[in-house]
Chain A
Amino acid sequence: MKLRLEKQPLEWIDRSQSLTFKIEGESIPAFKGDVISSALWAKGLKVMGRSFKYHRRRGLLSLANHDINALFQSVDYPNIRGDVVSAEDGLSLTAVNTFGNLTRDAGSLVESIAKFLPVGFYYRAFYSPKFLFPKWESLIRHMAGLGKVDTNWTEERKHKRYHYCDVAVIGAGPAGMSAAIEAAKNGVDVCLIDENPFIGGSLDYQYVNESSLESVRDNLNQTIEEMPNITVISSAYVAGYYGDKWLAVNTQSGLIKLSALSVVVATGVFEQPAVFRNNDLPGVMNASAAQRLIARYGVAPCGEAVILTSNPEGYRAALDLRKAGIQVLAVLDTGRPSHDWYEQVSDLGIPVYKEIQSIEAHGKKQLHAVTFQVNGLSHTLDCDGLLMSVGWAPAGAPLYQAGGKFSYDEKVQQLLPKTLPQGVFACGRINGVFDIYDQFKDGKQTGLNAAEYALNQTLSPCDVLKSPTPHSHSYPIWDHPKGKAFVDFDEDVQLKDLKGAIAQGFDNIELMKRFSTIGMGPSQGKHSNMNGIRILAKLTGKSIDQTGSTTARPMFHPTPVSHLGGMRFRPERQTALHHLHVGSQAKFMEAGNWLRPEYYQSDLNRQACIEAEVLAVRESAGLIDVSTLGKMEVFGPDAANLMDRLYTMTMSNMKVGASRYAVMVDDTGVIIDDGVAVRYSENHFYVTTTTSSSDSAYRLMQKKIVEWGLDATVLNRTGQLAAMNLAGPNSRKILAQLTDLDLSNEAFPYLAMRQTQVLGFDATLIRVGFVGELGYEIHLNASDAVPVWQALMAEGAEFGIQPFGVEAQRLLRLEKGHIIVGQDTDGLMNPFEAGMPWSVHLKKPFFIGKPSLAKLKSLQKRKLVGFELLVEPSNGDSDESPLESNLIIESGDIAGRVTSVAWSPNLDKTIGLADVTMEHVELDKLIHIKLTSGALIEAKVVPLPFYDPDGKRQRPEELLEGDVA
């Protein structure tokens, strides 16, 4: 292992556990605790990936979860980040987006034609001649993209958890740890979240050799471990700050949805690379990356290092390298240092060049020299490491998402939080606090504030601890006539590209991003946005604040679909009678979440089964499970008023013991639901909704009660109650066997409702006629449904009773011309157009949609009509049969559409409903249906209902006065 160092004091690797993985066939030794990149680097394999556009060789940059150039794929996953993903024994990886492999990549030919491919080149060509564009597009698409997807991958879904705490601290560096401890000491529950496997942050890689901090570090670690009210969530990041202190915390085992009373953002800063020629050569890296490499993995970043710096951190890195036995050839300072670390470095005999004027890196496959200018003189140093320490940018995504505002601080040369929402706090380097002891202090005072906020106490005042001197270069960018000065490593965006974009008018930060693609890659600009802002500000002569920044949206890091989607939860609802239907060979269909019998299977084919069910209902008796209907009970002094306001018909004058058809429309008069309402008592109604609208109708009712300030309550009893409809000429005889109630027409007329007992169980009976026969809808507790169904079937056996399904019911109701909301109505149909003017009681003072319906009454443009075919299609030829949604075409124009159509075994012809314009609604008028094949067939408008026009069958006795529509 070429670059592996002696054991480091705080290293994360376990040298007693060796493992081996493979990159493009080559075996890579590693220790447990290594990430892919550290193991590769230890072996001296510095080319870890090929760049996005030019396929240049790339190595380590940050080792902080934005090394998009060290991106790998395995047979199982597409985009594996080498700088954070653990090396696992047996893992086999290849680099993404190469045309060949890491060493030989045909894609690098792109670089040889780079001058023809300036920023936004793809907007400039490939579109003419038009017919060639698909070829070019295919090529461009294949050149773009990163990892490969295997569409045979199986689905992975991870569990989600909810968690609650008083104070959430994001980032467990020196400030975050201090904040967590201080908050916890004040008696609140704290969650301390860090993306690394261990807490410590910069304390454990930037301050490893500060002996004075050893005891502080131990103390922090020990306190956090011992305090029972601090929960450490490690290897986890806050993917997004949503809503009010609602954090999506992504862990390796799944998502935690964390709700906190206050939030401390101690996420720190991202080190920003300098921009100069060949700044992307393997061997050029952020100084903090080198420090992480040494401290965490015991790997030397190089043999001979040059450090480019604008801040004290660069000097500290020099000392760390020296301590690890790495030769530091020189420190190149962009300014004139005046701090202690400069003295320490000088004392070690390391040359320090001050006020360097330019810098350039050299190397073919990796860095081998650096050229720089001081006082007009050019110097070249051979080296294999160039560490950049020129500045920082806030890891401010959670603050931005919380609604915080940043402004640029000229003293620190960094964007600092300016205003933060209540209960959201920031501390540490994100706050511009760089002195390590000040970071502890800032954490402490912020932790106190966060606890106070959570406890609803007055906030103690805080000291401003931000650094008096800059820690970032105001413009760490050195242009070169030959280019190759990279700003965004994900996207291969160079300084010249940004200059080109700006010159062409993309001189707004968002436009520059969109045109040049800076910040659009997987790291979302973590190492490029700040330099992009600086470049734009400089070239347009504006300040950083005037220039602004792009929006920091979730995700903080790309977050797996398997975590966000989580475990699959699709409830499937079965009625209380489900197992009976199974026993009767029901063929089920999905109706929303419900399963309903479509029909009951026998030796016959589907159509014959359905027809047998239909005939049973028409000739004797049938029984259908209608438990999926929405079932609402409405109580209270304002119950009648509420019902009047919700439905188009007057409900308040309905007698107790009666029922009424209930149509609901929206504000524009469009039918949205229908059902049956009954009145149990003066202040107590019960109403059904369609299966699909039970939830929406319930929500609407609740909302309107509040909106209108009514003293009424709605209870959604959909799941508690079962319902079945016993229909057919023999239904009365069958039901009579199970109840003492007088079922005679005088005692229980059509459309009446009775509360009684069936088979000894409490039940509500409603005499309805949806399918057009004498019938009773029976509503009862779900737990009582099975015996009642079985008893009805047993009593009905001698009459040949049949259970019937949704398909038979659809045909039965069609024969009666009854509509199905959502099938025969569309997004605009009102009750007049649906042929139900009688259902609209405009004399009521108010109901939803009344103002619209009052106008629409005289504006009718179309209507639902019944039709029958003039010539029946030849048997079995479905191409000749009209389908629902086939159009009505008159004189070449669309005049309507078929909403329902079926062959009626009772009427021995094809019947249907059609929504047609008013010119075509007259009886006996011929209309033309355009079949799917394009052929037109003739149909005739006929009166509704098709079957039993006088309604004698649902009211076998003469119609009595009562609540009848």
Chain B
Amino acid sequence: MPATAETIVGVFAHVDTTVRALEELRAKGYHDLTVYTPVPVHEIEEVLERDRPVSRVRLFTLIGGLTGIVSAFLLTIWTSLVWGLVTGGKYFQFGPGGIVGSSLPPFVIIAFELMVLFGGIATVIGMVMLGRLPRFRPSASFDPRFTNDRFGIAVHCAPGRSPSVREILRTAGAEEVRA
């Protein structure tokens, strides 16, 4: 966003008026929008997600989960090679004919647990990073009512366009329009 841009915020009490404003703004070519909602609303998401790729959080989960599986097998196999404890006739050793012994199945349990652990933690890291959290100061367009029962649209536009944006927001049914 260039430094000269303006931000206009519209506060709405209803979902249908918010959706109407969003559709109108997008039709007029305003795409730099931030929408604040107290809960995720299906109708609003439908408009916003139309031309967006799926959230990349899932990539974090995949990488985390695979890291968990690989590190669990490395840990269990490597430790049973350096500490050759034979229990129940089962051991794990590199012999002349390749791997001797057959204790891989119990290691799957460790791999499963570490997959969930690493995958879960990576998911949260992904959510925090992609959602640009933590924020130490509220953004200028935020209003405390947006976590309670009001919906907000912040439109970032070129300086000269603000009257037209205000007009769109007000016609759609905004309770309040401010800069």
Tell me, yes or no, whether A binds B: no
